[in-house]
Structure 1
């Protein structure tokens, strides 16, 4: 398998507006499982996020040289990682935003496992060849052209850029608009690793927002190239499984009543209901209290990579229904204080492996920081 040469891109100007360093602050926690508590916490949305993001970047230094020494990224070998680097570099040269790089890499992962495949004879899918399994008979180019990773990547991006609204689409939908595959949902499972590959090969570019000429870390309601965004812009007032609250399986974001809650990523609604109605006299249609059971009005959503997010204490019935496909950043409800709550805020959880129980819960601060959508970064 061969990889055509792609010149390395020049180093890009470092973003001058990196998140400011924070200091230890006194926070008043609007508890989901008790009364108002004073907590002394180092604000995880300032110093910690700034240090992590600055150490890994948000794409400011540009992609690596595809002809240089490249890291191994399991389960892919050197030739496959080089092909991924070529895909990323072609996207940068065409000024395609980094979300397009993630889409392109994920597509090639599905179509060829990042391998520059020849015609496979009887095992071939029609006359498909190359990284993206593009078909000469469908006008993509000659077989020889499509075996050139640079050419194949360029043709993929050229088609992607003709898709209206592709940057707002879920990855699998945008990829399908280009590929017209018989398996339109197959691309979604590759999104987490494709994001990791882009981060590794392009200075954390999957964390980025902005244009290729001036990439910067996503903040506020911006959607990072990874496809993730903060559900609200306000800061954290109660942390994940602290010493004082070891059974607090999410974080509380101190938003005011009626603040729009955005879906943290594209996904499908699993739950949209009130979980206090089963225990009268409590109701989600009135303010809760520390003695009121449950999440109040809440939503669970399933995302690519079998990630589940949870949004609790909404002021009224959520805006979305079970089974609905939701875009990243779409408003799914409004902040309130229903259920076990001592004041308006959003209780936000992240679960892995599709496990909606406490066993699957992970620290939302770390997770959201790693996908480039740090909590509490402001609007």
Structure 2
């Protein structure tokens, strides 16, 4: 099978995704997000050497978190903040909340307090109530910046209590596990900034993985958290899923195809293609071939050029996924919000293709060009949604 590395493969004026995203409104607030690194820094307490550690932690069966031992430090989050995240995860574990809830809770606390147990000016002046800073909201307290209706001052300043109250309300929301993170968080928090939570989802997943044995890479199967099985309709706790089931054939930027900017996954014609994560559709159209022709309603051939019918989706964290060679017009339109696992089109062989398959790409830093492409295989594996096979 062959697939062009990017739409047309011919020189083209670079699309300014930032400008496109700025024009979109909705629940993701994607422009708030930073670029997407697939790794992060972890440092043991007391150590002075910082080591780059891959996000591919071993995914174990227990996922138990330690709230009393040494804490890893992740980028801007120090040991105290990571310990607060560990408390949030442990409360979720004690309450039998699935790992997806831990990611939502950690991401929410990242937005509300940067994982610090914040007081207000009145509490800061009181004795006997420890705090880790003063928040900006006049009567909101704690990791989740909960207001008076959530409990007393002492209760809201307790990380255990605050996390438990968050989960209690989350569990009452019908279908919360299948909602975009920002929607689930907003239904709990009723924030004045409802779009702000999504940008923390990827880092929150990394924190959960670091503290709880790769738990963000799990899916719930028969009420059990199973590692690395997210595919199509099953969504990992990280919020990601493999777009189709099938083995990877032609790989990413191989020696024989150094400009191949994604991977090819074999599948039968009209196999449903699923959005790999919640996001906003940037592009959904027929890609011209090398001669500028838009003839995507027929099977393509090697050397024709172009992605055929294809879709680009912008996700929180500045990630972009691309889905090429659909058999017919995509089922989504530019500007549309799609949920993880939502069907966006059907497998075909349009464009630069020798047979039916999905050409799948991942880009970082909101960069749709060749330079923004990364290998989708380790990226998806790190999120518990491995592309079957290897490349």
Shift of 1:276: 2.1
Mapped pair 1:180 → 2:190: yes
Is structure 2 residue 314 aligned with structure 1 residue 302?
yes
Please tell me whether the aligned partners of residues 317 and 333 of structure 1 are also in contact (alpha carbons under 8 angstroms).
yes
Q: Secondary structure at the match of 2:249?
A: strand
Q: Report what 1:88 is aligned to.
A: 89
Stretch moving more, 203-212 or 91-100 = 203-212
Shift of 1:68: 1.6
Q: Does the C-alpha gap of structure 1 residues 286 and 212 become closer, same or farther in structure 2, counting only changes over 3 Å? A: closer
Number of the residue aligned with 2:108: 107
Once the two structures are TM-superposed, the CA of residue 125 in structure 1 deviates from its matched residue by 1.3
Give the alignment of 1:1-379 within 5 angstroms: 30-33=1-4, 56-120=57-121, 124-136=136-148, 139-210=149-220, 214-219=224-229, 220-221=231-232, 222-276=234-288, 279=291, 283-376=295-388
Judge conservation of contact 1:282–1:292 (CA < 8 Å) in 2.
no
Q: Is the 8 A contact 2:113 2:135 kept in 1?
A: no
TM-score normalized by structure 1?
A: 0.83
Q: Say if 1:236 and 1:376, in contact at 8 Å, map to a contact too.
A: yes
Shift of 1:213: 7.2
- 2:161 match: secondary structure: helix
Note the C-alpha offset of 1:215: 2.1
Q: List runs of 5+ in structure 2 lacking aligned partners.
A: 6-53, 123-133
Alpha-carbon offset, residue 355 of structure 1: 0.2
Is the Cα contact below 8 Å between 1:268 and 1:325 reproduced in 2?
Answer: yes
Query: Structure 1 residue 163: deviation in Å?
Result: 1.1
Question: 1:230, 1:293 → 2: CA distance?
Answer: 25
Q: Give the CA deviation at 1:142.
A: 0.6
> Does the CA contact (< 8 Å) of 2:2 and 2:302 recur in 1?
yes
Asked if the contact 1:119–1:127 (Cα under 8 Å) also holds between the matched residues in 2, the reply is yes
Q: Which secondary structure state, in structure 1, belongs to the residue aligned with residue 209 of structure 2? A: helix
CA contact 2:199–2:316 (8 Å) conserved in 1: yes
Q: Which shows bigger deviation, 122-131 or 102-111?
A: 122-131
1:281 and 1:112 map into 2 onto residues whose CA distance is: 52
Relative contact order: is structure 1 or structure 2 higher (C-alpha 8 Å, sep ≥ 6)?
2
- Counterparts in 2 of 1:337 and 1:125: CA distance versus 1, 3 Å: same
SS in 1 for 2:76: coil
Deviation at 1:293, TM superposition (A): 2.2
Cα distance in 2, alignment partners of residues 234 and 76 from structure 1: 38
Q: Distance in 2 between matches of 1:268 and 1:281?
A: 27
What is the root-mean-square deviation in Å for CA atoms of aligned residues? 2.1
Q: CA deviation at 1:33?
A: 4.6
TM-score by length of 2: 0.80
CA contact (8 A) 1:63 1:85 kept: no
What is the count of residue pairs matched by the alignment? 328
Give per-residue Cα distances to partners, 1:262-294, cap 9 Å, x unaligned.
Answer: 000010000000012794655001111113221
Q: 1:161 to 1:324 in 2, by over 3 A?
A: same
